[in-house]
Amino acid sequence: MHLIIEDLNKKFGEKEVLKNINFEFEEGKIYGLLGRNGAGKTTFFNCLNEDIEVEKGKFYLFDKEKKEIGFKDIGYVLSTPVVPEFLTGREFLKFFIDINKENIEDVKTIDEYFEIVKLDVSDRDKLMKDYSHGMKNKLQLLVHIIASPKILLLDEPLTSFDVVVAEEMKQLLKNIKKDHILIFSTHIMELALDLCDEIVVLNNGTLEEVTKDKLDDKEFKEKIIEVLRGDSNV
């Protein structure tokens, strides 16, 4: 399955943030969406998730035939997690499973789901208002893993984790990638190089893939920096 983007354009006033983007993302890969702060990475995600209107452009899934993207096909993990803080982690997960159980394959127990993201037993029955930013982010990612959308947009999801938990989450994303189209937004190049199968740079409103063919790590990093500076085209 592929996510096809055709002629995507977005303006804010006179500023053209996304300029006629044409790109194709493939199932089974983690794409690192690199860009400087303010390059439009979150805007790009908001367009795909239909949180904001676009001037023109369309996007769809393709697997032998075109398919419109429905709300069940796409999940969006925000950089700042939004969870109902008046619920405990267990209550939140139970509520989510109850309202979505008809669409969840192979429903597990709540504690089995907690184990996926390694949430401590002592934290599972705490109110989420007392959770750290990283713990809220774990729960936000977990509900999307349970829902299992074809497209998963991840907007700077690992920045709130310590080193150990970040490694655990990276491994988790690698484990689920075969059944998803994963697009991972970050401005940290080392993180993208460590986690992602493909690197895509958002620069001056356009998407450019940076290939690693016949380049060593140093040359590859230099090539990405050149594109981010606008000094080079791929």
Mean pLDDT rounded to a whole number for the chain:
86
Domains of the chain, start order: 2-229 (3.40.50.300)
Q: Which residues pair with 66 in a beta bridge?
A: 62
pLDDT value at residue 44: 92
Torsion angle of C-alpha atoms 86, 88, 93, 94, degrees rounded to 10: -90
Decide if 35 contacts 155 (C-beta within 8 A). Answer: no
Decide if 32 contacts 192 (C-beta within 8 A). Answer: yes
**Tell me: the pLDDT tens digits for 166-190?**
788 888 888 889 889 999 888 777 7
pLDDT value at residue 137: 87
pLDDT value at residue 162: 72
Model pTM score = 0.85
Distance CA 122, CA 125 (A): 7
Nearest partner of 190 among 30, 38, 34, 42, judged by Cα:
34
Transcribe 15-79 into DSSP letters: EEEEEEEEEEEETT-EEEEE--TTSSHHHHHHHHTTSS--SEEEEEEESSSEEPPPGGGEEEE-S
Relative orientation angle of helices 133-147 and 89-100, to the nearest 10 degrees: 20
Around Cβ 201, how many Cβ atoms within 10 Å? Answer: 25
Decide if 23 contacts 11 (C-beta within 8 A). Answer: no
pLDDT value at residue 230: 59
- Cα 72 to the chain's mean position, in Å? 15
**Tell me: the pLDDT tens digits for 71-119?**
889 999 887 888 999 999 999 999 999 998 888 888 899 999 999 989 9
pLDDT value at residue 204: 84
118 backbone φψ class: left, alpha, beta (φ>0; ψ -120 to 50): left
Mean pLDDT value of segment 5-24:
91
Please report which confidence band the pLDDT of residue 228 belongs to, taking 50, 70 and 90 as the band edges. Answer: low
pLDDT value at residue 234: 42
